[in-house]
Structure 1
Amino acid sequence: MIYLDYAATTPIKREVLHVFNEVSMNYFGNPSSLHDIGSEAMKLLELCRKELADKMNGESDGIYFTSGGSESNILAIRSLVDAYKDKGHHLITTATEHSSVFHLFKQLESEGFSVTYLSVDEYGHIRLDELKKAINQRTILASIQHSNSEIGTIQPVEEIGRILNENGIIFHCDCVQTFGKVPINIKKYHIDSLSISSHKIYGPKGVGACYINPTLLWKAQLPDTTHENGFRPGTVNVPGIAAFTTAAQIIYSEMQENIKKYRALRNRMITLIQDLNLGIMVEGHGDEQLPHIVGLSIPGIQGQYVMLECNRYGIAISTGSACQVGQQKPSKTMMAIGKSTDEAKQLIRISFGDQTVESEIEKVVDVLHSIVKK
């Protein structure tokens, strides 16, 4: 089967799996234990913490390991909001955030916080003027994703960070889709907190991390927790973290080569689609765009139908949003960029990975052609 859903998850690399197995056998101690076996595990854990921080130009004591991107988003935002709620009850986010962030802000609203949901333009970009106008004296935190997971548009995070920093507002950034795909510079972008995940970069599932600027306060969500300096309960997954770190080292070493490869594949796909004059629309920004994600919509055809038809032809893609057979929900990203409810259900997402080749791109375009004709 042709796999073109790498933005959803990636297969673990052999080298990464090897590290996971070796660490499981040789560094099995609980890093919180005081004996030598625990101490060895702790040394490895701290090396991983520093390595991940260095990849993003952050501080090692700002890294907290979690079970993945969603938990990182929730714990980071919650911990910071609880620590600074005495200073204000206003928060800022966007209408296109990942569900883990979007639903958390809805919950915070129900608890009495005031939330501004920034709109986006037809490409998925926020408007910086709107961000500036949303800020008030009671604003304590803004959470704005680095890139949209459905259409791949990259937000102007450096400008966003500068605006928020100048106004003394905490900037949380969901970097799950961008970590390892494009450079991230915590200090240059004035990012105070971010989230990353292992399984998006050929690492094991169930592992992630968040970063919180060590100069900021945060409030533990479960009192008296000892693991990860009280940030998260549960014995730390040292083998998974070591494997995650290995995956990060590999993908960072290949980043520039991958960017070039994915741009070529994306351009090839768009050219083939345009040459066939199928009426398929390419969503997202033309330039500020993750090269490995292609969001497409086919007028008059639901994305779920296209996904199932592609599956029948041996091609795995996604609709870009969670769905069930016979009940596809409209993409909130598509709604936010100005699409109608019916149009928002037409989104499909094709995403490339390290095993993707040009012949697979040509095959999927042929299949899309046959679906449109039928």
Structure 2
Amino acid sequence: MIYFDFAATTPLDPEAAEVFVQASTEFFGNSSSLHDFGGQSQDLLENCREELANLLGVNKKGLYFTSGGSEGNFLAIEALLSAPKKNGKHIIAGMAEHSSIHGVLNRLEGYSITYLPLNSSGLIDIEELKRAITPQTILVAVQHVNSEIGTIQPIEEIAGICREHDIHLHSDFVQSFGKIDLKKIAPLVSSFSFSGHKIYGPKGVGGVYVDPAISWSAFFPGGSHERGFRPGTVNVPAIASMTAAAQKLTSQLVQSCDRFLELRTILVQSLDPIKNFVHIYQAAPDSQLPSIIGLRISEIEGQWMMLECNRYGFAISTGSACQIGMQAPAKVTQALGLSPQEAKEFIRISFGKTTKREDVVKLGETIVDIVKKFKL
């Protein structure tokens, strides 16, 4: 079985795994305990906080560790809503946001929410965003990189618009963390979330940055961990492992991008025999994460194509793993304005560190064979 679903999750890096085991056995004390064992764990925790803050170009005082991206999105939005820059009850969000964003927004009472679609290139229309802003708008939530099609939203430009109107900006950095240099844009947002298992770190760990200038109120009252941001004993071994994985992946950004661009080109070329049936949803190269390819094949349901590929030894997906078991199509297909039938045809292929050229060629040839057998 050859894995092409790295946008869903990644294998734990061996070096990160070693860090996890070492931290679990040698730094097992509760980081909030006052004895020496707790102090050692606390020192390691703060070292990780500082290292990640340096990688992201932010103040470590605003960095909090969570159980992952979904919890991070929830807590970040709740924190921003507890300390708005002005009075108001209007929120703007991307229609293609991760399900955790939709989840927290759907539970809010008394707020009006405007959802922005994506244009044909998979990007939010900046002019449409400007038109959606009202004097009551207090929060904009736009993910940096879409997990289904890999398009990169212009967060720097959006952040500037939000500053002009005294609006908080939250951005989901889960798909861009470790894959794009975030130092320029991370300090521009009010908050962002990230996750460990997308970057060859362990599952069940992630983080949130909230601008230290924001005087937020805790969603869970009475918590003593992470300066009250969330309750529960801090998972220091997983945080240390995630930090090691982030350092390693960030050091390879340029080489990885070049390699993924090559692999993307190879896959697209391999699909040339069925190009009349293939529809790839993507932006211009400077607004596209090359490792994620979202596409549909006319008249072939994505779930059937995924199962056929699995039968031939290739693991692809029909979108975000968080949506499995739901009957509704991936949010990105709605944001792109696809019909219900077209939405059912959507599949996602994503590359990772271990993806080989020859495997990409084999996958492309397999998809072509499947389509030809189906169409004939």
Instruction: Tell me, yes or no, whether TM beats 0.5.
Output: yes
Match of 1:113 among 106, 111, 114: 111
Contact 1:161 1:189 in 2 (8 A): no
Report deviation, 1:308: 0.3
User: Partner of 2:193 in structure 1?
Assistant: 195
The count of residues paired between Structure 1 and Structure 2 equals 370
TM-score, normalised relative to structure 2? 0.95
Pairwise CA RMSD of aligned residues? 1.5
Mapped contact 1:162–1:189 kept (Cα < 8 A)? no
CA distance in 1, matches of 2:99, 2:166: 26
Q: Which amino acid aligns with 1:200?
A: K
**Is residue 3 of structure 2 the alignment partner of residue 3 of structure 1?**
yes
Deviation at 1:331, TM superposition (A): 2.3
Could you tell me which residue of structure 2 aligns to residue 336 of structure 1? Answer: 335
The answer to whether the 8 Å contact 2:2/2:314 transfers is yes
Q: By how many angstroms is 1:329 displaced?
A: 3.2
- The 5 Å alignment of 1:223-302 reads 223-277=221-275, 279-287=277-285, 288-302=287-301
For the residue of structure 2 that corresponds to 1:83, the secondary structure is coil
Equivalent residue runs for 1:25-44 within 5 Å: 25-44=25-44
Q: Distance in 1 between matches of 2:172 and 2:200?
A: 18
Give distance in 2, aligned partners of 1:188 and 1:27: 30
Match of residue 319 from structure 2 = 320
Contact 2:186 2:192 in 1 (8 A): no
| C-alpha deviation, 1:165, in angstroms | 1.3
Q: Residue 114 of structure 1: CA displacement?
A: 1.1
CA distance in 2, matches of 1:277, 1:199: 34
Determine if the alignment matches structure 1 residue 349 to structure 2 residue 348: yes
Cα distance change on mapping 1:126 and 1:148 into 2, 3 Å: same
Deviation by residue 1:117-157 (Cα, 9 ceiling, x = unmatched)? 11221122111111112222221111100011101111011
AA paired with 1:198? G
Q: In structure 2, what is the Cα distance between the partners aligned to 1:221 and 1:139?
A: 21
Q: Is the 8 A contact 1:329 1:345 kept in 2?
A: no
CA distance in 1, matches of 2:185, 2:348: 32
Counterpart for residue 58 of structure 2: 58
Q: Against the structure 1 CA distance between its residues 358 and 165, is the aligned structure 2 distance closer, same or farther, given a 3 Å change threshold? A: same
Instruction: Give 1:155's aligned residue.
Output: 153
Instruction: Decide whether the 8 Å contact of 1:58 with 1:187 is kept in 2.
Output: no
Q: CA deviation at 1:271?
A: 1.6
Alpha-carbon distance in 2 for matches of 1:204, 1:187? 25
Question: Are 1:145 and 2:143 counterparts?
Answer: yes
Superposition deviation, residue 84 in structure 1 = 2.7
Map of 1:367 onto structure 2: 366
- Three-state SS of the structure 2 residue aligned to 1:240 is helix
In structure 1, distance between residues paired with 2:184 and 2:74 = 19
Counterparts of 2:186 and 2:9, CA distance in 1: 28
Amino acid at match of 2:260: Y
CA distance in 2, matches of 1:339, 1:257: 35
Structure 1: gaps (5+ residues): none
Change (3 A) 1:189 1:117: farther
Q: What's the offset of the Cα at 1:186?
A: 5.5
**Structure 1 residues 296-333: Cα deviation after superposition (integer angstroms, max 9, x where no partner):** 10000110000000000010000014344xx8532221
CA contact (8 A) 2:273 2:368 kept: no
Q: Distance in 1 between matches of 2:226 and 2:292?
A: 34
Q: Does 1:215 align with 2:213?
A: yes
Distance change in 2, residues 1:189/1:123 (3 Å):
farther
Distance in 2, Cα, partners of 1:139 & 1:8? 32
Whichever residue aligns with residue 280 of structure 1, its letter is V
Name the CA shift for 1:278/1:371 in 2 (closer, same or farther; >3 Å). farther
C-alpha contact 2:274 2:371 (8 A) present in aligned 1: no
Structure 2 equivalent of residue 49 of structure 1: 49
Structure 1 runs of 4+ with >4 Å offset: 186-189
Q: Mapping of 1:169-188 within 5 angstroms?
A: 169-185=167-183
Once the two structures are overlaid, the 10-residue window that deviates more, 137-146 or 268-277, is: 268-277
Q: Distance in 2 between matches of 1:97 and 1:152?
A: 12
Distance 2:284 2:343 in 1: 19
Deviation at 1:274, TM superposition (A): 2.3
Q: TM-score w.r.t. structure 1 length?
A: 0.96
Specify the alignment match of 2:162 in structure 1.
164
Supply the AA of the counterpart residue of 2:69: G
In structure 2, distance between residues paired with 1:242 and 1:307: 35
| Cα offset, 1:185, TM superposition | 2.5
Q: Distance in 1 between matches of 2:236 and 2:255?
A: 30
For the residues of structure 2 that align with 1:155 and 1:190, how far apart are their CA atoms? Answer: 14
State the distance in 2 between where 1:301 and 1:313 align: 17
The aligned amino acid for 1:163 is I
Residue aligning to 2:24:
24
Q: What's the offset of the Cα at 1:37?
A: 1.2
SS in 2 for 1:266: helix
SS in 2 for 1:84: coil
Question: Structure 2, unaligned stretches of length 5 or more?
Answer: none
